[in-house]
Amino acid sequence: MSQIIKTPSPQVIAVAEADKGQSDILSADVETAAPEKKSWWNTSARTGERKLLLKLDLFIFALLTDNDLELLGDQYNYFQTLWTIGYTVGMIPSQVILTYIRPSLWLPSVEISWAIITFCFAAVKNYKHVYVLRLLLGLAESPFYVGGMTLLGSWYTPKELATRAAIFYSAAFAAQMFSGYLQAAVYTGLDGVHGLPGWRWLFIICGCINIPGALWGYFAVPDSPYNTRVFYLSEEERALAKSRVEEVGRKPFEGVTLKTFKSALSRPFVWVFVLNYMQVPRSITDRNRFRFFCTATYGADFFGIYLKTLNEYTVQQVNIIPTAAYAVGLVGAILFGFISDRLRDRVSVAFVIVLLNFTTCVVLATNPSKAGVFFGYLVNPATNSYGPLIISLLGETFTSLADERALILGMAQTMGATFNAWLPLLIFNTGTQLPYFRAGWITSSACAAAQAVGVLLLGYLGKRIVRDTADQKL
C-alpha cells in the first residue's frame, strides 16, 4: 500500500544535477612536454601537435562536463520511468541531427533547454507537473553522452582516444561526489530563504550553473576538423588537425540516411557491439537514477544496503564507506584507458577488464565473507572503463564511416537504456534478495562471461570491417 512521503526524496531533490552527471564540467590539467620529447600524456613528438592536443583537451572537456508536493511512493517510480522514456526516445534522433547540424549549435542549444527545464522544476505544484518535466528532461539530456563521445571520436586519433573517452566518462564519478556536497550546502544555507524550501533552490542553482557553459559552447565546441571555425585554433592548427584525422582514414559526416541504417544493421559487428554495450559494467551511481548500461554489474548501489544489514556501522559510515568506490572507478577508468592507448590494443585490455568484472561478480554471487563483499563492491567499479574502451574500438573500426559510427553508438545507448528500465528491478530486488542479491550477481556473472566472448568476437569482426573498407578505397 502506498504511503505519503513526508521527507524529500533524493531522486526528486537532486534530479537536476544527478541526471546531468554525464555533461557536468570537467577540466583536464595538462602539462606541455619539452620540445621534441614525448610526454606521458601526449605521445606525439611534434611540438605543434602537442599544442593542438592541449587546446582540444582544455576546451572540449570544459564543456562535456517533496513535502510540498505530497508525493505517493509509486509516483517516484513513474518519475524515473518517464525520464528513461524521454532519454531513450531522444538518442538516435539526436545522433542523426548531429550528422547534419554543427555540434557547436546543437549541443549548447539543448543544454540551454535542459537548464530551462531545470528552472521549471523549482516552480512545480504537484506530481503531474513533475511527470511532464521529467519526460522533457530525458529528451533534453539524451544528446550529451553519445554526442560528447562522437565529438571526441572526430578529433582524437587511436593513440590518444581511449584516455580522453575514459576521462569524459569519469566525469560522472566527479559529478556524483560534487552533487552530494552541493545538496548539503544548499540545505544548510538556503532552506527557507525567501520562503522557498531548499530543494527548490537546488533546481535554481543547477540551472544557473549550466547556462554559462551552454553559452560558452556556441564559441568553444570545435565541430569537426573538416569544418571547424573556433577562435582558439590558428589556421596552421586547423590544417594539422585535419591532417591528423586524414592520416588515420577518418572521414567527415555526410548525414545519416536510410541507406546508413540499412548498412549498419547488416553488419554482424553492430549486433555484437550492441549486445556487449548493453552489458557494460556500471556499478557507480545512485541506484534511483538512470545508468547508461545494462546488465553486467549493479555494483556499489547496494553496498550501502549490505552495510546496513550488518548493524555494525553508524549512518555516517554507511554513507561514507561506499564512496571509496567512486575513487576506484575514477582511477580505474583513466588507468585502463591510458594503458589501452599506450599499447594501441583495445581488445586485450577490454578482455582483462571483463575478467576482473567476472571475478568480482562471482565473489559477490557466492554469499561471501565480509571481506569478500568489500572486495567485490570496491574493486568492481574499476571495470567501468570497459564502456569508453569499446566506444573507442567502435570509432577506430568505423573510422572512415562517420555516419555509421554516430548511428551505432546511439543505437547501443538506446538499447542499454531500454533494458535498464526494467531488468535491474528483476535481478536486484530489494524486497526479496537482501542482503547479498544472489540472483543479481549470478546473472551478472553470466553476462560477464558472455561479454568475454563478445569482446573477442568484436576484435575479429572489427578487423574484417577495417580490411573491407580499406579494400574499397583501392
Distance between CA atoms of residues 79 and 339, nearest Å: 40
Query: Is 245 in the same domain as 263?
Result: no
Query: Is 60 in the same domain as 115?
Result: yes
Query: Is 202 in the same domain as 300?
Result: no
Q: Which pLDDT score, from 0 to 100, does residue 180 have?
A: 59
Q: Which pLDDT score, from 0 to 100, does residue 471 have?
A: 64
- Among candidate residues 194, 227, 250, the one where a domain is terminated: 250
Q: What is the pTM of this model?
A: 0.80
The series of mean pLDDT values per 10 residues for the chain, 474 residues long, is: 36 40 37 48 66 80 55 58 88 96 95 92 86 92 92 92 88 66 73 82 86 90 94 94 93 95 96 84 39 41 81 80 82 92 94 94 87 90 88 93 95 86 72 79 89 95 90 62
Q: Which pLDDT score, from 0 to 100, does residue 301 have?
A: 58
DSSP string for residues in 376-426: HHHHGGGGGGHHHHHHHHHHHHTTT-HHHHHHHHHHHHHHHHHHHTTHHHH
- Among candidate residues 250, 283, 311, the one where a domain is terminated: 250
Query: Is 311 in the same domain as 397?
Result: yes
Distance between CA atoms of residues 142 and 94, nearest Å: 7
Is residue 2 situated within a structural domain? no
- Among candidate residues 250, 282, 301, the one where a domain is terminated: 250
Q: Which pLDDT score, from 0 to 100, does residue 266 have?
A: 96
Number of domain units in the chain: 2
How many C-beta atoms lie closer than 10 Å to residue 374's C-beta?
A: 16
Q: Which residues span the domain enclosing 399?
A: 254-469
Query: Is 374 in the same domain as 448?
Result: yes
Q: Which pLDDT score, from 0 to 100, does residue 23 have?
A: 38
Is residue 474 situated within a structural domain? no
Q: Which pLDDT score, from 0 to 100, does residue 64 have?
A: 62
**CATH number of the domain bearing residue 185:** 1.20.1250.20
Distance between CA atoms of residues 362 and 135, nearest Å: 37
Is residue 3 situated within a structural domain? no
Grid coordinates 530543494 are at which residue?
A: 199
